């Protein structure tokens, strides 16, 4: 087991157990695992129980044999979906970047939170973006989140808004439900979402939805820039650009081109 001052020993031990079981070509008993990992018996039992309770391991049979759980299959599918989205959108993100010289972002929704999957930095020196992997819980305050809300069923949208509310992130954030509903209807009609300093003052964003082969909304591609480099008169122009990029990315994911996006 590899431990350093910069790691958590209990987590290291859990990873050692997972790697031990995954390397075996058969189910393993407690004694099998004890023989292969340097972990005290009682600590090992607690680790195994925890991993089983979280779905990372399965325990079966009279002898209590351990094997990898279905949680890894679930996580693997989710990871594959995100890689597929990134790979399908990357070419069109680059095209947008070359045309606009602005920050291009790719985001998706996971467990009712927005995750920044990829970005291409624009020419502006100020930081307009978070690091890849950052999470944004406020769907009503960002263009991507508005797109997701506009495409949700009324029941799902109500659940999401009830869970998070409509807090004012800046003085420009939409906090009135009726005003938000009106904007979501507009997004469904025009095919893109717009954000005007609602998540961060001085920043505007615009985004359009990407769909996969089954018609599921899997992400958004968008443009982000400071208000000095994103004039309101250019909203429709940039909107058309992100919709075009999103349609191309959707086609790359197998979405039928003749159905249109959003």
Does residue 63 sit in the same domain as residue 79?
no
pLDDT for the residue 233: 96
Q: What is the mean pLDDT of residues 219-238?
A: 95
Higher pLDDT, 70 or 129: 70
Q: pLDDT (tens digit, 9 = 90+) per residue, 142-159? A: 999 999 999 999 999 999
Judged by average pLDDT, the poorest of 50-54, 117-121, 122-126 is: 122-126
Q: pLDDT (tens digit, 9 = 90+) per residue, 79-90? A: 656 678 888 999
Does residue 25 sit in the same domain as residue 128?
no
pLDDT for the residue 136: 87
Residues in the chain: 262
The answer to whether residue 178 sits within a structural domain is: yes
Does residue 38 sit in the same domain as residue 156?
no
The answer to whether residue 131 sits within a structural domain is: yes
pLDDT for the residue 186: 96
The answer to whether residue 2 sits within a structural domain is: no
Does residue 249 sit in the same domain as residue 135?
yes
Does residue 193 sit in the same domain as residue 209?
yes
Instruction: Give the end of a domain, one of 69, 89, 104.
Output: 69
pLDDT for the residue 191: 96
Q: Which residues contact 169 (CB under 8 A, 6 or more apart)?
A: 138, 141, 198, 199, 200
The answer to whether residue 45 sits within a structural domain is: yes
Does residue 106 sit in the same domain as residue 31?
no
pLDDT for the residue 73: 61
Does residue 98 sit in the same domain as residue 55?
no
pTM greater than 0.75 (yes/no):
no
Higher pLDDT, 82 or 10: 10
Does residue 45 sit in the same domain as residue 174?
no
Number of domains in the chain: 2
Higher pLDDT, 198 or 10: 198
CATH, residue 150: 3.30.450.40
Does residue 126 sit in the same domain as residue 64?
no
Is the confidence at residue 3, as pLDDT, over 50?
no
Does residue 119 sit in the same domain as residue 84?
yes
| Contact of 164 with 139, CB cutoff 8 Å | yes
Please, which contacts does 58-65 make with residues 24 or more away whose CB atoms are closer than 8 Å?
60/27, 61/27, 63/29, 64/29, 64/30, 65/27, 65/28, 65/29
| Contact of 119 with 132, CB cutoff 8 Å | yes
CATH, residue 32: 1.10.10.10
Output the average pLDDT for the chain.
Answer: 88
Q: What is the mean pLDDT of residues 33-55?
A: 91
Q: What is the mean pLDDT of residues 132-138?
A: 83
Judged by average pLDDT, the poorest of 9-13, 21-25, 56-60, 67-71 is: 67-71
Higher pLDDT, 195 or 112: 195
pLDDT for the residue 104: 95
Is the confidence at residue 76, as pLDDT, over 80?
no
The answer to whether residue 199 sits within a structural domain is: yes
Q: How confident is the model at residue 123 (pLDDT cuts 50, 70, 90)?
A: confident
The answer to whether residue 4 sits within a structural domain is: no
The answer to whether residue 3 sits within a structural domain is: no
Residue 242 lies in domain: 75-259
| Contact of 20 with 54, CB cutoff 8 Å | no
pLDDT for the residue 10: 86
Q: How confident is the model at residue 126 (pLDDT cuts 50, 70, 90)?
A: low
pLDDT for the residue 134: 81
Could you give the CA distance from residue 58 to residue 27 in angstroms, rounded to a whole number? 10
Does residue 48 sit in the same domain as residue 147?
no
């Amino acid at each position: 087991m590899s431990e350093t001052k910069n790691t958590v020993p209990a987590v290291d031990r859990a990873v050692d157990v997972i790697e031990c079981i995954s390397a075996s070509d058969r189910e393993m008993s407690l004694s099998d695992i004890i023989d292969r990992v340097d972990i005290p018996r009682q600590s090992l039992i607690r680790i195994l129980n925890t991993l089983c309770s979280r779905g990372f391991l399965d325990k079966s049979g009279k002898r209590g044999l351990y094997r990898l759980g279905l949680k890894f299959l679930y996580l693997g599918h989710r990871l594959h979906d995100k890689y597929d989205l990134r790979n399908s959108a990357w070419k069109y993100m680059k095209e947008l970047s070359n045309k606009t010289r602005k920050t291009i972002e790719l985001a998706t929704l996971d467990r009712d939170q927005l995750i920044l999957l990829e970005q291409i930095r624009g020419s502006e020196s100020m930081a307009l973006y978070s690091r890849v992997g950052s999470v944004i819980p406020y769907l009503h305050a960002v263009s991507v989140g508005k797109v997701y809300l506009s495409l949700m069923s009324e029941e799902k949208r109500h659940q999401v808004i009830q869970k998070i509310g409509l807090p004012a992130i800046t003085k420009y954030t939409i906090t009135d439900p009726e005003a938000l509903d009106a904007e979501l209807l507009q997004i469904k009609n025009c095919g893109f979402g717009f954000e005007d300093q609602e998540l961060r003052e001085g920043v505007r964003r615009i985004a359009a939805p990407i769909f996969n082969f089954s018609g599921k909304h899997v992400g958004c591609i968008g443009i982000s820039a400071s208000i000095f480099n994103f004039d309101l008169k250019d909203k429709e122009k940039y909107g058309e650009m992100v919709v075009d990029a999103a349609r191309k990315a959707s086609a790359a994911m197998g979405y039928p081109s003749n159905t249109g996006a959003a």
